[in-house]
Amino acid sequence: MDSALSDPHNGSAESGGPANGTARPPSTPEGIALAYGSLLLMALLPIFFGALRSVRCARGKNASDMPETITSRDAARFPIIASCTLLGLYLFFKIFSQEYINLLLSMYFFVLGILALSHTISPFMNKFFPASFPNRQFQLLFTQGSGENKEEIVNYEFDTKDLVCLGLSSIVGVWYLLRKHWIANNLFGLAFSLNGVELLHLNNVSTGCILLGGLFIYDVFWVFGTNVMVTVAKSFEAPIKLVFPQDLLEKGLEADNFAMLGLGDIVIPGIFIALLLRFDISLKKNTHTYFYTSFAAYIFGLGLTIFIMHIFKHAQPALLYLVPACIGFPVLVALVKGEVTEMFSYEESNPKDPAAVTESKEATEASASKGLEKKEK
């Protein structure tokens, strides 16, 4: 997981530009402000819209849109798995040819990026299709076994409109594959982030605190303790980060002096913010207090990260500032409102867990039977 915010201005080694020893001209204050502001805006978009879509996803019945629920055990393992993955990538880049590794990764993210971008733009594109558009339904179903032992491996439902979105996304994919242009990179990065916030659900606030706390330590160690994360971020030619050129005003779309923000700094706080939105809705008070508080906390934390990075001219572990803000602000509001117990007792079940589905059905049936008994009385 790439989770560092890098500031490659004034020709520093983090710029990812030519390695011919030629010093870059210093970035202008306007260019730096534009790059920072754009990164902040791009980070906010997938969190906001991903959180809204996560509510619909939690209520949906389509198997292809079912969220993946993260439990406390998953959260505790995640920093360890992420560390092993990061170190493995670092060793791969040190041992093997960077060119061939990035070629394989480009093909892998080419496919993933098209699927993610297609899923992202599908709700928006549906508004532009005329009512007379011939829309046919399709289902991709893979099963294992037979009879009572049959088990679904893949169950994906789509329609003709989705195929059109897939075709449009493929154009962006080819553009990224051939040019590695920063705009194509960002389109894929935004799609990955929005899908992550929408489809990855924390089962409760305690799990969110465990995940963010573990990745807080992970981020600080790999950025301040070693050069591993920054090295991987520079070497990894894949849309796992958002980038914006600081020399855009001088060079236009061919600019190449990039500031970057890892997708981990968007998705990890984003899924916690989305959880708080669903908690707000569960309170049935017609307010989104915790969502807006955590969203404002994210803006504050990322803004502080950018400020510190600009002052010290060094890549910063953004989660160092985002985690205390995103957890601290909502908990403080809960303390003031006397809703700490409600916040930490809020629980979401895994819709893919048969036991959870059974419990939900039993609860519904019990509720229905109580309603009938009241009517009979």
Around Cβ 244, how many Cβ atoms within 10 Å?
Answer: 23
Of the residues 2, 247, 265, 280, only one is catalytic, namely: 265
Asked if 197 and 271 count as a contact pair (C-beta separation under 8 A), the reply is: yes
Asked if 241 and 189 count as a contact pair (C-beta separation under 8 A), the reply is: yes
Around Cβ 325, how many Cβ atoms within 10 Å?
Answer: 21
* Residue owning tokens 């894949």: 238
The question of whether 74 is a catalytic residue gets the answer no
H/E segment holding residue 61:
none
Asked if 340 and 331 count as a contact pair (C-beta separation under 8 A), the reply is: yes
Asked if 7 and 315 count as a contact pair (C-beta separation under 8 A), the reply is: yes
Angle, alpha carbons 24-28-31 (nearest 5°):
105
CA distance 368 to 361: 10
CA dist 84 to 79, 89, 218, 228, Å?
A: 9, 9, 11, 12
The question of whether 265 is a catalytic residue gets the answer yes
Cβ neighbors of 158 (< 8 A, separation 6 or more) are: 64, 137, 138, 139, 140
**Exposed, middle or buried: residue 238 (CB in 10 Å: 0-12, 13-18, 19+)?**
buried
CA distance 270 to 276: 10
Helix (H, G, I), strand (E, B) or coil at 197: helix
- Select from 82, 70, 89, 117 the least CA-distant residue to 271: 70
Decide the pairing of beta strands 4-6 and 137-144. Answer: unpaired
- In this structure, what are the phi and psi dihedrals at residue 133, rounded to the nearest 5 degrees? -65, 125
CA dist 226 to 84, 221, 246, 319, 344, Å?
A: 14, 7, 26, 16, 35
Of the residues 7, 219, 247, 280, only one is catalytic, namely: 219
CA distance 65 to 160: 17
Annotated catalytic sites, by residue?
Answer: 219, 265
